Amino acid sequence: MSTDRRIDVDGVSVSACHFIGGERVDSPETFEDRSPLRWEWKLADVARGGALEAQHAVSAAKVAFGQWSQLSSHERSEYLHRLADLIDENVDMIAHVECLDMAMLEESLRLRVIPRGARNFRAYGELAANYESRQWESNGTANTVLRMPAGPTVIVTPWNAPFMLSTWKCAPALAAGNTVILKPAEWSPLSCSLLMDLVQQAEFPPGVFNLVQGFGNEVGAALVSDPRVRRISFTGSPATGRLIGEAAARNLVPFTAELGGKGPFMVFADADLDAAAHKAAVMYDDAGQVCLAGTRLLVEESVRERFLVLFHEATLQHVLGDSRESATTISPLIHPDHLARVDAFVQRARTHGDEVHFGGQAHTAGALWYEPTLISPLSNESEVVQNEVFGPVLTIQSFTDEAEAIELANSTAYGLSAIVYTSNESRAQRLGAALRAGTIWINTFLVRDLTAPFGGAGISGIGREGGDYALDFYSDLKTLQIKEGTVHG
């Protein structure tokens, strides 16, 4: 039976319930969702799903798959475009709630992050509708590659940029003809609930796009273990990626995992040092809670001192403050537990003998801010170099030549992104070939083409999403072979 329970979040009505089979559904138990802007500010008691809600959602998605998978990609594309239009019409509202819920800067959410959610649906609506199947002749047969929708798909997302990251995965899954059960993170559950209001307004058939709220080890684990689920797509930490991979393996279900990063930010002596220093200071944006950030500064020895001065100057321009205000550039961290985790990294680095150049503590103004921090590690083996902190903590190391730079860059278990500043084109090409990373940016950062493959090497992930790579993942591909001269008409 449909039961909605709506909460007033600073003037915006948000459902604190799941969305299953086209209806709002509550749970007997709830969990507290608080605002990182003022931790005493409770935003909502959100429905805490478990095995029952997981089963219910997969059943709804399985029933809806019958009809949704039979629609033409043009018909599905119309729903995706309608949803994209509704997101565009509601950007300010979604940005405001997301800002309160996870403290990303409201202006950046409004101008960049939430509109990207609309772009995700539009891009996949178009890609799927314009897909041309590969056809060729060989061995006396005409061959055609066809896509079959795979089935109910579980999508599990993390607390940083929940709206954008969820839409990035849900759009291709839906476009490919799958039905979706989305499970956002328990630290920032609200924007995905707003998305379900828009799904309802766009009149998606019931059960095509479902949302369940709750903890990862409860409803999340139940969803990824359900044998009726035919695809799992996950973004989050490597530790959870392993657990989800085990569950997927038990049911022989393909899964993709977009995991953590520890990207190098490489600065060569021939680079525009001022531009490099300013971009390096951008790594503190969103309080460093960005998987793609280049958190290991690797600087050519001959320019290290000059770069350090420019970088420190650029860092001093940052303003820690309330994420709703446009002057703020560094937001609070998501949660007191996360603040403690980030600080523990820094304190262990100190104990280990790594040198803290600046920062290195929670900001004295209170709230959940952590000061932008720069550390010179004792060695490349230091924990703070080798492990993802996911906070405003960078390390700086130097190199003497390109070979050493590449060795350092490729020396962690991660391989999500790399950023390089150089003015030498052949060096840019050589580094592109030599660096072990899913995305390499030369003299820029975060520029994304949605048709390009996206994912990580090493413990940064399995599989690729983006463009046709995502549509392939969410489909079962088959080959049709017709003997030449045997069919007519």
Catalytic residues: 258, 291
- For the CB of residue 306, give the shortest distance to ligand NAD in the complex, in Å: 31
Under the binding rule (CB under 6 A), the answer on residue 224 touching ligand NAD is yes
Q: Contact region for ligand NAD (CB under 6 A) — 75-83, 107-115, 254-262, 420-428? A: 254-262
Burial 151-189 (b: 16+ CB within 10 A, else e): bbbbbbbbbbbbbbbbbbbbbbbbbbbbbbbbbbbbbbb
As beta bridge partners, residue 142 has 137, 482
Single residue of 179, 240, 295, 398 touching ligand NAD by CB under 6 A: 240
Burial class (CB in 10 A: 0-12, 13-18, 19+), 50: middle
Single residue of 18, 110, 183, 279 touching ligand NAD by CB under 6 A: 183
Residue 478, Ramachandran bin (φ over 0: left; ψ between -120 and 50: alpha; else beta):
beta
Contact call for residues 62 and 245 (beta carbons, < 8 A): no
Under the binding rule (CB under 6 A), the answer on residue 185 touching ligand NAD is yes
Q: Contact region for ligand NAD (CB under 6 A) — 95-103, 154-162, 205-213, 341-349? A: 154-162
Single residue of 259, 280, 384, 437 touching ligand NAD by CB under 6 A: 259
User: What would the DSSP string read from start to end of 26-73?
Assistant: --S-EEEEEETTEEEEEEEEEE---HHHHHHHHHHHHHHHHHHTTS-H
- For the CB of residue 288, give the shortest distance to ligand NAD in the complex, in Å: 11
Contact call for residues 405 and 266 (beta carbons, < 8 A): yes
Contact call for residues 438 and 234 (beta carbons, < 8 A): no
Pairing of strands 209-211, 231-235: unpaired
| Residue appearing with tokens 């962690």 | 412
Which residues within the stretch 380-399 sit at the binding site for ligand NAD (CB under 6 A)? 388, 390
- For the CB of residue 464, give the shortest distance to ligand NAD in the complex, in Å: 11
Binding pattern for the stretch 398-417 against ligand NAD, x by CB under 6 A and - elsewhere: ------------------x-
Q: Contact region for ligand NAD (CB under 6 A) — 5-13, 137-145, 212-220, 394-402? A: 212-220
- For the CB of residue 231, give the shortest distance to ligand NAD in the complex, in Å: 14
- Minimum CB distance to ligand NAD smaller for 90 or for 289: 289
Single residue of 26, 98, 258, 354 touching ligand NAD by CB under 6 A: 258
Q: What angle do CA 419, 422, 427 make, to 5 degrees?
A: 95
Distance CA 393, CA 335 (A): 16
As beta bridge partners, residue 294 has 263
Count, residues near ligand NAD per rule CB under 6 A: 31
| Residue appearing with tokens 């932008």 | 372
Which residues within the stretch 458-477 sit at the binding site for ligand NAD (CB under 6 A)? 461
Which residue's CB atom is positioned nearest to ligand NAD? 216
What SS3 state is found at 269? coil
Distance CA 148, CA 101 (A): 38
- For the CB of residue 212, give the shortest distance to ligand NAD in the complex, in Å: 10
Single residue of 22, 117, 151, 220 touching ligand NAD by CB under 6 A: 220
- For the CB of residue 20, give the shortest distance to ligand NAD in the complex, in Å: 17
- For the CB of residue 41, give the shortest distance to ligand NAD in the complex, in Å: 21
Binding pattern for the stretch 107-136 against ligand NAD, x by CB under 6 A and - elsewhere: ------------------------------
Single residue of 63, 71, 243, 446 touching ligand NAD by CB under 6 A: 243
* Residue 104 CB neighbours (<10 A): 28
Which residues within the stretch 41-100 sit at the binding site for ligand NAD (CB under 6 A)? none
Look up residue 475 and give its two tokens: 């489909």
- Minimum CB distance to ligand NAD smaller for 235 or for 395: 235
The CA-to-CA distance between both ends of the chain, in Å, stands at: 52
What SS3 state is found at 218? helix
Q: Contact region for ligand NAD (CB under 6 A) — 23-31, 126-134, 158-166, 319-327? A: 158-166
Single residue of 159, 265, 370, 474 touching ligand NAD by CB under 6 A: 159
Single residue of 49, 151, 152, 456 touching ligand NAD by CB under 6 A: 456
Burial 333-367 (b: 16+ CB within 10 A, else e): bbbeebbeebbebbeebeeeebebbebbebbeeeb
- Minimum CB distance to ligand NAD smaller for 255 or for 369: 255
Distance CA 37, CA 115 (A): 23
Distance CA 141, CA 483 (A): 4
- For the CB of residue 103, give the shortest distance to ligand NAD in the complex, in Å: 14
What's phi and psi for 192, nearest 5 deg?
A: -70, -30
DSSP designation for 364: T
Look up residue 23 and give its two tokens: 């209806």
User: Which positions lie near ligand NAD, rule CB under 6 A?
Assistant: 156-160, 165, 183, 185-186, 215-217, 220-221, 224, 235-237, 240, 243-244, 258-261, 291, 388, 390, 416, 456, 461
